[in-house]
Structure 1
Amino acid sequence: MLDTLGSADVVVIGAGIVGLAHAHEALERGLSVAVVERADRATGASVRNFGHACATAQAGDALRYGMAARATWTELADEAGFWLRRTGTVMVARAEDELAVLAEFAELRGEDQARMLTAGQVAERVPVGPDVVGGAWLPGDLRVDPRAAAPAIARHLAARGVAFHFATTAHTVEPGAVRTSRGVLKAGAIVLATGHDLDRHYPELAAEHAVRRCALRMLRVDAPGGAVIEPAVQTGYSLLRYAGFEACPSLSEVRERLTREHPELIGMGLNLMYTQRPDGTLTIGDTHAYDTTHDPFDDEELDRAVLAETAKLLGAGELTVRERWRGVYAAGREPFLVAAPAEGVRVAAVTSGIGMTTAFGLAPEVLDGLGLGAAGR
């Protein structure tokens, strides 16, 4: 007979950023909250990413969620005491068709969201190689240190009364209760926020929505010459990965050219970008591979490609690697998966790799769908 761990108005399964966003939102609504996490801390996508809340480049629900999340990120940084900067994003164009996409995007969005830059203005903001032809600045985007932000938010929520059950596996989910490896948690409502591990709980739901695991290759390197680089930096490859640019007529030209000139980089799903960590090193990447279960063997050619292309972007020589890792996130047909597999239970998954950007905007709608009232802010 399992012990009873207690009860809460809302039980959240998963202490990554999506789970923390739902715990925070429930707490703001005056509800009691418990969080179940199988590890003793967050170690998944929430700490392995660029720390880039890139709301501006989104579209549809993702844009709406990302814009709403900005205020919450800023408030939490002040309250929980983690590093956050409103540095914006510099989009670097290294071909005229990329510059055309950025000009079309700026025209669609307006100057408050995107401002065009000359090649010289790009070089004033970030180090670049000689092939830059211009770019754009997206001033509203945020950066955080993902390795510090998620743990700081968890500590902050715990200090406010959220009950965290770390190193505790959620075995079964049923209306009104979560049965765990340490006992039963009674719940008024349950939010399952396990990301790419959705199939561990609801395999048929994961299969229905074609949810797979996206594996990324990422590295941390020294900044050339100790450069201070405030904005996040993205490139023409990034234009192919963000829905906001799909409305730009010239995007097809960029896709066709990059596929023709660099089929190997397109084939590995390169999103050539980087952000600078508070310690001055750069997080660089990344490549994308999709499967339900990935082989455990990492191809060194992926890292070599990322390093070579990043050095070229920076106009630098060989980069000094400090760390390498495999990122992971849930990928599906749509950018978000919200489902009700049982009464009082919601699955909440960001299935597009933008959990840091959108989770705090998604959470209020999920809790509204559970009938838990409007946010008390």
Structure 2
Amino acid sequence: MGTADVVVVGAGIVGLAHAVEAAERGMSVVVVEQDERATGASVRNFGHGCFTAQDGTAYRYARKARETWLKVAAVAGLAVAESGSVVVARAEDELAVLKEFTDIRPAVTLTAAEVAHRVPTGPDVVGGAFLPQDIRVDQRTSADLIARWLARQGVVFHWRTTAHLITPGEVVTSRGSLSAPRIVLATGHDVDRHFPGLADDLGVRRCALRMLRVDNPSTRDITPAVLSGHSLLRYDAFALCPTLTEVRARIEREHADLVRIGLNLMYTQRPDGSLTIGDTHTYHRTLDPFEDNELDRHVLSETARFLGVPSLAVREHWRGVYASAPQPYLVASPADGVRVAAVTSGIGMTTAFGLAPDVLDTF
């Protein structure tokens, strides 16, 4: 099949980020993808660049990724909106966290009236915060547009091609062999298909999400991503706020069932006006194919209450899956010239463009 400076296995956003970075460095790049387009976590998400709420290495990656998203958008035809995020507080302790948060991140507090001016809300809002550095992308088209742009730059894509064997200097695929001194495996949770011992040692599991697309019950355009008090428990930077312990204790006491399913109550608007809502989090090495409707019922009822409407009309529902592990990133070298790269914290869209330069620097 040929040779290249870099072979990337996986054409989701993590694989594409490595292809973008390698091409930027003047390397020849081949991407191998088992499907005819990206169909995994890269398209089954909120399209939310949640940069502001990251911490540590993830925050460093997020800031780099923001620059790259805007740069790639300008040349690849992506619709990237520098829309920010609105975090809605429905309790005084949540508002206290957000006031503390403005001291550590680029964010401004909002009154209840200012929140209602920016996004539709229910009647129980006490205030909120605006995170201006966050962005929105169309999650269902971005990966495809990036791949098409990369192909125009000379990156070679082998779609509907399975990587059977990865060894130093070679990827044996269902269409033949590729030779490269640098190989990046970016298959997310499927790392255990290639290196099961590595996945076991690093505690890699599959995180399953329940998400839905619903009709927008209001007639308003909703540009920013919209987060709730439940989101404060999901993003690391909020843990820097001392009063988060009070929020966590209250939510765990009042909403134990929602904590049990890992609810991150938030939504974003699709280009057609509908809303992507969710999501829940459950963790397994192998996912059960049979799912209880309880998860969807929780997401629907809580989102309806969040929006202040009696019910929501469902257009689609799906399960997203991403790799999860105790550490937020998996970067490993199971063989000479081979790197495994995965975002194991559910923030691939937000940080992959920041991760890729560090991974390529290890070769």
| TM-score range for the pair, normalised by the shorter chain length | over 0.9
CA distance in 1, matches of 2:7, 2:206: 25
Q: 1:198 aligns with which of 191, 195, 219?
A: 191
1:322-368: per-residue Cα shift (whole Å, max 9, x none)?
10000110000011010111111111000000000000011011111
Residue identity in the other structure for 2:104: L
2:331 is matched with 338
How far does the alpha carbon of each residue in 1:120-153 deviate from its partner, in whole angstroms, 9 at most, with x for none?
Answer: 1001000111111100000010100111000000
| Mapping 1:1-377, distance limit 5 Å | 5-109=1-105, 113-370=106-363
Q: Distance in 1 between matches of 2:240 and 2:170?
A: 45
1:313 is displaced (CA, Å) by 0.8
C-alpha distance in 2 between matches for 1:155 and 1:248: 42
**Offset, 1:186:** 0.4
Aligned counterparts of 1:297 and 1:137: Cα–Cα separation in 2: 39
Output the CA distance in 1 between the equivalents of 2:195 and 2:220. 47
Which AA in structure 2 matches 1:350? V
Q: TM-score, normalised by structure 1?
A: 0.95
RMSD of aligned alpha carbons:
0.7
- What do the CA deviations read for 1:195-217 (whole angstroms, capped 9, x no partner)? 01010011111111111000000
CA deviation after TM superposition for structure 1 residue 83, in Å: 1.4
Greater Cα offset, 319-328 or 224-233: 224-233
Aligned partner letter, 2:175? R
Amino acid at match of 2:101: F
Q: Secondary structure at the match of 2:141?
A: helix
DSSP-derived class of the 1:46 partner: coil
**Large movers: runs of 4+ above 2 Å:** none
The whole-number CA distance in structure 1 between the counterparts of 2:86 and 2:80 is 17
Residues in 2 aligned to 1:226 and 1:320: alpha-carbon distance in whole angstroms = 14
> Aligned letter for 1:31?
M
Alignment partners' CA distance in 1, 2:291 and 2:151: 37
Figure out how many residues of one structure are paired with residues of the other and give that number: 363
Q: CA–CA distance in 2 between the matches of 1:159 and 1:299?
A: 44
Identity among equivalent pairs (%): 66
SS of the residue corresponding to residue 218 of structure 2 reads: helix
3-state SS, counterpart of residue 59 of structure 2: helix
1:225 is displaced (CA, Å) by: 2.8
Structure 1 residue 317 displacement after superposition = 2.3
* Cα distance, 1:175 vs structure 2: 0.8
* TM-score normalized with structure 2 length: 0.99
SS at match of 1:226: coil
Point out where structure 2 has 5 or more consecutive residues left out of the alignment.
none
Name the SS of the counterpart of 2:193 in structure 1. helix
**2:120–2:218 CA contact under 8 A, matched in 1:** no
Letter aligned with residue 124 of structure 2:
D
Q: Residue type matched to 1:60 in 2?
A: G
